[in-house]
Structure 1
Amino acid sequence: MEPLGAADPRRIGPYALVGRLGAGGMGAVYLSRSSGGRTVAVKVVRADLAEDTAFRDRFRREVAAARLVSGAFTAPVVDADPDAEVPWMATAFVVGVSLHRAVATHGPLPEAALRMLTAGLAEALVGVHGAAVIHRDLKPANVLLALDGPHVIDFGIARATDGTALTSTGAVIGSAPYMSPEQALGQHLTPASDVFSLGTTVAFAACGESPFGDGAGAAVLFRVVHTEPDLSAVPAGLRPLIERCLAKDAALRPTPREVIAAIERPGPRPDPRVDPRAALPPVDAPRPSAGWLPDPIAADVLALRAALTALPAPEPTLPLTGPTEVLPGGSGTAPTAPDRRKLLLGLTGGALAVAGTGTVWALTRDTSKGNGKNPLGGSGGTSGGTPRPSAESVPDAKLAWQARLPASVAQVLPGSGIVACVMLAEVVGLDRRGEKKWTVKGADHGDMPFAVTGPTARTVAAVAGDRLYVSGARFTASGGGQTGGRARVLGIRMADGKDPWTIELADRPAMGVLDFPGVRDGRAYVFPMTTDESAAYEIGVWALDLAARRTAWFHRTEAMPVFWGLPQTGGGLLYADTKRIVAVDAKGGAAWSKEFQAVLVGAAGRYFLVADAAGTLFALEPATGRQAWKAAGVVETSLRGDGVATDEKGTLAFVLLRDEDGGFSLAALDTASGRTRWRSPLPADAEGSSRLGARLLYADGNVYRMGADGMLWAFDASNGNPRWKYGGFKGNSPTELAWGAGDRRLCVSDTGATTVAALDANGA
């Protein structure tokens, strides 16, 4: 939880605000207390949205729907005023940790807890569906584990069973790994859709990952619709029920009451001659009690409760006069900040739904199948026998500036003395001191949402020359409902945000833009998500002639574009999913395609670059797909891409190579021949950090690397020697950090918060 900032209100209605719990595209959520001392989570709408009459109507319907849903395993609305100058809604604060955070921190749940989780979620859905509402976004992040059982939160994208939308135009329609097949296909939803999400959520709790795997949203949704889930880690006694919940045919899924009944009935015992676990006593039907949670998770909840009980009681009438820090024990001195932040961050019972231009897309890949070990602290031997330098020997960089913005920042792009910060509803230009110089609002350009924000954000903008290009979608509405959308790109002058113009994909309805690979030789390349008359969607490649301000060509993809590569010259691009790579020529035709399980895709000079699971990097001719050269030992791309970086002319490709001691070396490859120009062992990552894969950028003579622990490194591009490091983001998940380099700066955004920071290229 963050202290209140200067721009945060101190009181909303009868509630004094204590601290900020989180923020999203629609506003912020605050931990708050009434005059009588009741702790609640207050959702406060952004001031600019409060002026939108249509948004107020949608928020009013959301409040009405949330009021209908009340039960033992939901977070009920306790107060609201959608007609206030700044609309708000207060829900009961659930003292619990999110299922997603608990599993990420402590691992999968044991069977007894899984059974309690399943029954609790089903009971919550009984209440939700009894109020004629479909949740539509049941997922681990929206489940809080409390001492009295699991609680379902966040009805921000719920929909009434009569089809009445309860959310704003362009709001998130679900999270790909937990959506039902009918939701993925844009079909009519019934309460059975939530039962499918229940099944995927419980499977995540049992396995530690989605049963349909990771990857870009489009690839995950393809598997949700067409493949069977991996339930191998689900306990045998629970697996048949979860299999029924995950039936492709909604009519074959059990109702929530049938789920509860199945949990309460003892399941068949395994044969002790085959499974020694059969000798264990049977698992009783779950009952809410403090002992249902594993001890480490229960300890987190108890620590959270202790911190909350130490909050100072607000004055009954006076607003708070300054930021209030949560201090366990009321001692007046904060304990170690990371420990408390870990408990409090993101645990609100009224979390915001992040708005965007379609499904939340996430590039998350399974890194457990790679080769090598987690790098450990200290020096060790590398493949060439060169000693690994110590992190302590590398100078620490100083932060040039840090700025807070009104919403989560999906992408940061430096250029022309400006850092462009792309958010859902606007783009803000910050100057070299981090101060706001200009703002461009999507509402001024045809109701155009720009970005999906949060940890799942992808690339939505690019800088070329003195201009910034931002992709999005223009939605038209009639009678308060969205009737259609068109993908478009907005171009503005980077220095002052002026001279705007747009190019629109006029002949194909679109739900939004999946990704914006970039600009090459005067053409912008965009992946719009288009729809047809049946509401089925497909991803295309849209090439825009920026000088003529018109469409150059449109390519219908043959594979989901999870990865891509843009060569410096020659036009066209390469895109790939986890099974196939497809090359597009300069006129938009498919030059060639191959079955290939890629773990890295990029381009350097005139070649496409792809790597397989064995770590072999291949340079391919764009016209024919013929192999030009190959290199071994290359590390796969990170969860957010950036697996390979190139210099300005594309003559060098910078990659990570895996060493014999489990650590990494940074290498520069000659893109014409594949020969190694230099190879430099890297300082070891922090002990215990999970392996990230390669995440690299090049700019201003530096090769930047983001470590698995969030540490930022700058290396000399001429020889690989470390220049500086910066640990201000250490401890943050790299999947939640967006970055951009150029114009003598490295800029970083925490996509789960509202902060942007900049470092000078020289680290000073």
Structure 2
Amino acid sequence: MPSPLAHDDPPGLGPYRLIARLGSGGMGTVYLGRSPGGRTLALKTMHARIATETAFRTRFRLESDAARVIGGRYGAQVVDADPLAETPWMATEYVLGPPLDEAVELAGPLPEASVRALGAALCGALGQLHHSDVVHRDLKPSNIMVTAHGPKVIDFGIARALGDVRLTHTGAAVGTPAFMSPEQATGEEHAPAGDVFALAGVLIFAATGHGPFGDGRPADLLYRVRYGEPDLTGTPAALVPILSRCLAKDPAERPTTAELSSQLHDGSGEFADHLPAAVLAEIGRRASEVWQIVPHRLPAPADQPPTVPSADVPTASGLSRRGLLMAGAGSVLGVAGAGAGVWAWLGRSEPETGPTGPYKKPTPGPSVSALKREKLDSVWQIQSGGVYDDESPDAPFVIGDLAVLVGNTQVYRMDPTSGAVKWTSDIDGTWHIASDGKHIYQNVKVAHYDGNSAYPSTVSRFLSRVDLTTGKAGKHLAEVTDSYHGGIDSQLLAVAGDTAYLAISLGKVKMYQRQIPWAVTAVDLTTGSRRWTEQLPFRSQKSDQWHFLAAKAVGNRLLLLQEMNDGKVRVVARDSRTGKVVWDKPWDIKPAAARQPLTADGKHLYLGTGRLRALRLSDGGQAWESAAGKSYGPPILKDGVVYAVEKGLGLVGADAGSGKPRWTEKGDDGAQASLTSRPVIGSRYAYTYSESAGALRAIGLASRTTDRLYKANGNRFTAYEQSKMIIASGEHFLAGFPLQ
């Protein structure tokens, strides 16, 4: 659990502020931190004394790469990393849930249904790694976090690509003896079958509370792993033949993860439905606790002079959270819900100090739903996968009276008035889905098998229209894989009329490398043909950032915010009929701040985050600009008025055509309004968010003063006018507020 910072811990890493310590060991320290936008993260560092060793630094980089491969669906999503810093560090999502060993200690051995669901989901996680020719090599209960969405695999410190012998050599056993495979115990090649062996041991532990080869000295454990028979005492009878096959000494006799998954679970139900109440209560307790942590730093020892941690900490190298490989995902039990949704599953209990006598199953306390409802003034709340920094800024979408929300690797269709989830659907990421305001289009990945392997021989991508009734992708409208080069990575930038605009990779996907070159292309959704393709500049091999931060098709212009190799942002307008660049303007803004939906009409593109201004779509010339010395947040357009928050003043409105002032908030409340969240404009009220106050302010359009405060949280606020609701989306939840 979190503990205070040490006196000599740095105040931050890159742009992230440190809040507490999560743990420390021989290799490094893990901190709890927060991003400038308030997102809670785990930050892992390497001790300075070993950071000078090339082998350790290489291992840290490979750990970051492997974590990116598994992604946020099955692991702790990598948000940022700088393996080249003087003190290497990596920032990941903070996983809300206990490690599997703590969950078993708390709730006792898990029932068979829980073990089967856990195993099937872990097969999906390992399958994703193995599809990318990566093996974990240290799968054990303490490296598996149990969340309401499903298990997440962490700690890839000794994971590596198949065939990579740079960090190990034959005869050296690396891993955890109690869960090693026989071949790993002798220092031989650890292939995917070795991870299957370890997975069987993890599932036996989950079902019985003990590992298959007992405990004791490492040498004794290694001998039992190599020559002894596993102890399956207490394992549910139906699981014994399945797990026994996984524990075969000969790797060739073990099933693949796909085979094992089909034998364990049929995929029905939600993962949280299969968890004991005590585990759900612990997940809920941790979800609530993380927001209550107050930064605290221990004083220096009495025999040492006080030290002030240097604020000159390494800055981010520009690595994104996005996985380096777009590998096929295995089965997983997604999260859906209705009404209060997942929060209704979660209970809350007081912290436990560990069992001191015979095992007694705890009883859950009040639900997290109740806790959250006490804190927020929302009509409803549900837990969601969250939206990350480098995802599409246009999500969520509004289509009639439907709310189609996109977070990380799932799409939700919901009733905005009640929060009831109608369906969920899996995606590879938010840049693989877009809307034209009437329909949803998805960039679908299709794996092709040759019959000789459980893994796909080739992978293609197709554009499909999503059935809004079921969430399923329809017929393939156009292939967007480059058949010559084999590139499979892409951004679905925008859809307008019968045309989809994408950025696609043209080069083959290589392990741990950027896919190059890239191009932007227009695809005819009626015929499936490409209308034009224009190649983009090569990206630096050190960069894994998307080319584009935001996009919008308006009239005969495709408007793009493009991040260049030097990290600068440019506003680029292409002719949507030919793809040629019509105009190209620099924008002095950090890439993270530029990830906002673009605001434009038939004449102008409106930019904030700095001075508020309008650029002509025809030639990029400046139509009007706010007065010097003033700074604004991102704008929104409503009824010919451009609204934005002015720093130190509050919400203001300017005439879209001339830039002349049309509306100004009164009073002092507006000084706290956030400059990072777009305002929401209703028929009677305008709404701005105050992060410092944790409140959504309803400002009367007639009175121009604050009429109502809603206790709220979130980083995106979207109006659903037909349903008269505002959807607030945060890192781990969605909430609905009234729109008037």
Instruction: Answer 1 or 2: higher relative contact order, Cα 8 Å, separation at least 6.
Output: 1
Calculate the TM-score normalised by the size of structure 1: 0.42
